[in-house]
Structure formats: C-alpha cells, structure tokens
Amino acid sequence: MNSKFSVTHTHATAAKATKAAPGTGKRLLITDIIGSSDKPDAQIKIIEDTAGTPVTKFQAQFRVDATYNGVFHHVFKTPIQITVNKSASVEVDGTAVCCANIAGEITSH
C-alpha cells in the first residue's frame, strides 16, 4: 500500500518544499506541485536528490499579474518518478513572498 505525502514551505525569495528520501527500496512519485510568487516570470522546479547530486526533473515559468500575484498548479497525468531512496523538492523563486508545495506517494520499488 502506498502512503501519501505533502510538504509546503514559504519564504521571501526562495521557497523550497523538500520530501526526505523514503528509505531503502522505496521511491517518491510526484503527483502534484503548487507554487505562488510575487516575482514576474517566476520559476518552479522539481529537483531530485537535493542532498546529493541535484537533477532537475521538471521546470516551468509562470506569469504574475499586475498586482504581483501568480499561482502555478499542475497535476501530473503520469507521476514523476524519483530514483529509489532519493529526496525531492519543489522550488519557487520570488522577490518578497513565495510558496512551494510538493505532493505525491511513497511506493515500494
């Protein structure tokens, strides 16, 4: 049986929500990411192995409106698979406030 997870982090200029490595023989499946930012043309990224050799698994730019509010939400039809026993994070940049959320499941390999 898979267990679900969700991690959120808020920061002024660099929000980074990280899910730790799940343990031997287990992997993270990323199903959803959400980011918000006040920065025009903000970036959102999914990074694998944040504690070792980072690998960008997904990256997008999202628009921020004239009132400096921008939100990006994506549900992956096919979850992004993270290498067995590696951590994952979603990162969002901002100028004064940004928020990042990563959600998914932990599965046995």
Q: Give the model confidence (pLDDT) of 28-78 as tens digits.
A: 999 999 999 988 888 999 999 977 899 999 999 988 877 768 889 999 999
pLDDT of 99 higher than 80:
yes
**Into how many domains does the chain fold?**
1
pLDDT at res. 93 = 92
Starting at the earlier edge strand, list the strands of the sheet with 70-81.
Answer: 3-11, 98-108, 26-37, 70-81
Range of the domain at 7: 3-108
> What b/e sequence results for 87-102 when a residue is b if at least 16 CB atoms lie within 10 Å of its CB, and e otherwise?
bbbbbbbbeebbbbbb
How far apart (Å, rounded) are the C-alpha atoms in residues 34 and 95?
Answer: 18
1: confidence class by pLDDT, cuts 50, 70, 90: low
pLDDT at res. 50 = 79
Give the mean pLDDT of the chain.
92
pLDDT at res. 104 = 97
pLDDT at res. 41 = 85
CATH code for the domain in which residue 75 is found: 2.60.120
